[in-house]
Amino acid sequence: MAFMSTCFTVTTKSHSIVFSSKPSILLKPSQFHTLPSQTPLNLSRTSNFRCSKGFGHVIRASVDVSTSAVKPGGTVESDKLPSDVRKRAMDAVDACGGRVTIGDVAGKAGLKLNEAQKALQALAADTNGFLEVSDEGDVLYVFPKNYRSNLTAKSFKIKIEPLLEKGKLAAEYVVRVSFGTALIASIVIVYTTIIAILSSRSDEDNRGRRGGRSYDTGFNFYFSPTDLFWYWDPYYYRRRRVRKDDGGMNFIESVFSFVFGDGDPNQGIEEERWKLIGQYITSNGGVVTAEELAPYLDVEMAEKMNDDSFILPVLLRFDGQPEVDEEGNILYRFPSLQRTAGPQRSGRKEYVGRRWADWVGGIEKFFREKKWQFSKTSSSERAMVIGLGGLNLFGVIILGTMLKNMTVTPSGFITFVSEIFPLLQIYAGSFFAIPLVRWFFVRKTNAGIEKRNQARELRAQALELPDLSLRRKLLSARDMAQKTFIGRDRIVYSTDRDLYEQDYDAKEWDQRFREIEKPD
C-alpha cells in the first residue's frame, strides 16, 4: 500500500482567511486501484506559493491507495448506493461529459452534496475512474467512456435490475387483472348459486308432492378458474404502449382503475423539483435570491412574500449560506455549485425582468404539481364497471337472504359458497366503498395542489415584472455570481499519473511562484 499526502499552502500579506469547505476524499484500499504500482514510498510534498487573488487557502488532498487491483467477486461499492441515487448520478456524469465536480452532479441530478460525493466515490472505485486535484484544492472525478459497461460487468445487482423491473411490472399487472377478474368470478358464482338454490327448492317441492322416494336431481356445477383467463390480454406488454397513446385500457384494467385509481401522478416529481432548483442555481452562478427559488418550492400566497423560511430545505441540501449585499438585501450563495469541470453560461443582467422568461429557457418557469384523477377510464367504461358492480352487489344481497332462509340440505357447491360468502360480501361492499372514500380524498388533495400551483405561478409572474426593489436585488445577485471553471491546465495532481512525474512538475511550480514573489 502507498500513502500519499499533498499539501498546498497559499498565503498573502493582507489576508489570513483559511477555507476548509473543500471535500476531503479517503478511498479505502478496496475502493481504488488506478495509481501506478511503482509508488511504494510514503511521499509527502509541501508547496508554498503566493496567489494574486488575495485569498489564503490551505488545501490538503489525501488519498489512501492500494496498488493491488480489485479482485473478481470483491465488494462492489456501487451496490451499496440506492438505485435511484446511482442512476441519477450516472446520468449527471454522462450529461457533464465524464469529468465532474461534486457540485456538478449535485446541481444536475438534484442530489444532496453528501449523496453526490458518496455516489462519485463508489462509481470511481468500481469503474477505473480517477481523481484530479486543482491548484485550489477542488477534487474532480474523471470517468472513462465505457464506465457504464465496466460497472455492469462487475455488479450482479445492476445486471438483474432490468429483470426485476420487468417482474415488478408483471406483478402489478397480475394484481390489476386479478381484481377485475374477481368481479366476473363473483357474479358467476353468486348467480349460479342463486339458480342452484332455486332448482333445489323446486326439486324438493316435486318430491314432496309425489311423496315417494327421493332422487338426486343430478344438478352439478363445475367452474374452472381457467375459464376466466380469456379476459386476460396475453399481449399486454406489446399493446400497452399503443393503449397508453390512445388513452384507453381494457375492461379488466378499468375495474381496478375505478376502484383503486391509477396511482400518484406526482410519483418521482420531488426528484424533478430538486433537479430544477439545482440547475437554476448553477445557471445563475451560484448566487440567487429567495424570490427566484420561490416558484419551485412550497410557498404561501402573495400576502406572505416577505418570509424566506421556505428556502431552508435548499440551503441544507446544497450547503448554501446567506449573505448581505451593500444595500442590505439578503442573497444566498452556494459555493459548491460555483465550481464546475465544464464551462456553462451564467445569468446576466439583461435577463432580469421580462427577459427572465427567455433566460429560463429549458428550465420550467415554476414547479407545477399534477392533479389527481379519479380514474383514467372513459365514461362508457365507467358506466359498464358501475353496472356490473351493482349487479354483483344486488346478487350478493339476494343470495344472503336465500342462504338464511334455506330449509333444504345444501349440496356441496352451495356449502362451499356459504363458506366463502363473507368474502363475497366484503368484495361487493368495498367495490363501492373504496371509490367513495377515494373521491373525497382526491377532491381534498387537488384543492391543495391547485393552491400551491397558483402561489408558485404568482411568484414566477413577479420575476417577469419585478418592482424596483426586487429588480435591484436581482441585479445584485447577478453581480455577486461567480462560476469557476476548472480546466485541465489547473490540475496539480491526478491519480492516473506517476507520483515522481507530478513531483517534478510541483518543483517547477514552486520555482515559478518564487519568481512571482520576488518583486513583492
Domain boundaries, given as residue ranges, for the chain: 2-158+489-517, 179-205+220-486
Residue pointed to by grid coordinates 349440496? 411
More confident residue, 422 or 364: 422
User: If residue 485 lies in a helix (H) or strand (E), which one and from where to where?
Assistant: strand 484-485
Residues written for the chain: 520
Say how many C-beta atoms besides its own lie within 10 A of residue 56's C-beta: 18
Query: Residues of the chain with pLDDT > 90: what percent?
Result: 51
Please give the Cα distance from 203 to 213 (Å, whole number).
12
* Residue 364 contacts residue 349 (beta carbons within 8 Å): no
Alpha helical stretches, state H, 261-353: 269-283, 290-293, 312-318
104: nearest Cα among 23, 16, 7, 218: 23
Long-range CB contact pairs, 434-442, < 8 A, 24+: 434/259, 434/260, 435/258, 435/259, 435/374, 438/260, 438/261, 438/374, 439/374, 442/261, 442/372, 442/373, 442/374
Distances (CA, A) of 271 to 79, 87, 162, 203, 276: 21, 12, 21, 67, 9
Please give the Cα distance from 444 to 434 (Å, whole number).
16
**What are the grid coordinates assigned to 218, written together?**
343430478
321: nearest Cα among 55, 16, 19: 19
Residue 112, pLDDT > 90, answer yes
What number is the average pLDDT over the span 349-378? 71
Residue 369, pLDDT > 80, answer yes
Decide the pairing of beta strands 330-333 and 287-288: antiparallel
- Half-sphere exposure for 128 (CA within 13 Å, toward CB): 14
Residue 439, pLDDT > 50, answer yes
DSSP-derived letter for residue 311 is G
pLDDT band for position 167 (50/70/90)?
A: very high
181: nearest Cα among 86, 277, 256, 262: 256
| Lowest-confidence pick of 159-163, 276-280, 340-344, 444-448 | 340-344
* Residue 65 contacts residue 102 (beta carbons within 8 Å): no
* Residue 88 contacts residue 110 (beta carbons within 8 Å): yes
Give me the CATH code for the 2-158+489-517 domain, please.
1.10.10.10
Distances (CA, A) of 366 to 100, 292, 422, 457, 459: 27, 10, 51, 6, 8
* Angle CA 107–271–244, to nearest 5: 130
Decide the pairing of beta strands 2-11 and 43-50: parallel
Residue 7, pLDDT > 70, answer no
More confident residue, 159 or 215: 159
Mean pLDDT across the chain? 77
Residue pointed to by grid coordinates 382526491? 442
Residue 335, pLDDT > 80, answer yes
Which amino acid is residue 150, in one-letter code?
N
What number is the average pLDDT over the span 397-406? 89
**What are the grid coordinates assigned to 358, written together?**
427567455
* Residue 152 contacts residue 159 (beta carbons within 8 Å): yes
| Rg of the chain over all Cα atoms, to the nearest angstrom | 34
Coil, strand or helix: which one is 247? coil
User: If residue 440 lies in a helix (H) or strand (E), which one and from where to where?
Assistant: helix 412-464
pLDDT of 260-313, one tens digit each?
999 999 998 999 999 999 999 999 999 999 999 999 999 876 555 677 889 999
Please give the Cα distance from 60 to 133 (Å, whole number).
9
DSSP 378-408: -HHHHHHHHHHHHHHHHHHHHHHHHHHT--S
Please give the Cα distance from 348 to 483 (Å, whole number).
12
| Lowest-confidence pick of 238-247, 334-343, 365-374, 450-459 | 238-247
pLDDT at position 271: 93
pLDDT at position 36: 37
* Residue 81 contacts residue 158 (beta carbons within 8 Å): no
Residues in a beta bridge with 48: 9
DSSP-derived letter for residue 299 is -
Distances (CA, A) of 166 to 161, 172, 223, 253, 257: 9, 10, 32, 18, 21
